[in-house]
Amino acid sequence: MTDVTKDASDKLVHTPNGGMPRLIEIMRRLRDPNDGCPWDLEQDFASIAPYTIEEAYEVADAIEREAWDELKGELGDLLFQSVFHAQMADEAGYFNFDDIADTMSDKMVARHPHVFGDENRDKSSDQQTLDWEKIKAAERAAKKQTGVLDGVAMGLPALMRAVKLQNRAARVGFDWPSTDEVFDKLVEEMREVEQCETPEEKFEEFGDLMFVMANLARHWKIDPEAALRAANAKFTRRFEYIEAALEARGKSPKDSDLQEMDALWDAAKIEEKST
Tell me the pLDDT tens digit for each residue of 137-169: 777 777 776 788 888 888 788 999 999 999 989
What are the pLDDT digits (tens) for 88-147?
999 999 999 999 999 999 999 988 888 898 877 777 777 777 777 777 777 777 777 678
Q: Is the pLDDT of residue 246 over 50?
A: yes
C-alpha neighbours within 13 Å on the C-beta side of residue 191: 6
Q: What is the per-residue pLDDT for 25?
A: 95
Report yes or no: 70 and 13 within 8 Å, Cβ to Cβ: no
Instruction: Give the separation between CA 214 and CA 44, rounded to whole angstroms.
Output: 33
CA 155 vs CA 69, 107, 128, 152, 158: distances in Å = 30, 21, 27, 9, 8
Q: What is the pTM of this model?
A: 0.64
The model's confidence at residue 6, banded by pLDDT at 50, 70 and 90, is confident
Report yes or no: 100 and 82 within 8 Å, Cβ to Cβ: yes
**CA 10 from centre of chain:** 35
Q: What is the per-residue pLDDT for 1?
A: 55
The model's confidence at residue 4, banded by pLDDT at 50, 70 and 90, is very low
Report yes or no: 163 and 218 within 8 Å, Cβ to Cβ: yes
Instruction: Give the separation between CA 113 and CA 109, rounded to whole angstroms.
Output: 7
Q: What is the per-residue pLDDT for 152?
A: 85
In one-letter notation, the amino acid at residue 35 is D
Lowest mean pLDDT among 91-100, 130-139, 174-183, 204-213: 130-139
Instruction: Give the separation between CA 242 and CA 258, rounded to whole angstroms.
Output: 11
Q: Is the pLDDT of residue 2 over 90?
A: no
Instruction: Give the separation between CA 233 and CA 272, rounded to whole angstroms.
Output: 13
Q: What is the per-residue pLDDT for 3?
A: 53
What are the pLDDT digits (tens) for 18-59?
999 999 999 999 999 999 999 999 999 999 999 998 999 899
Instruction: Give the separation between CA 124 and CA 130, rounded to whole angstroms.
Output: 10
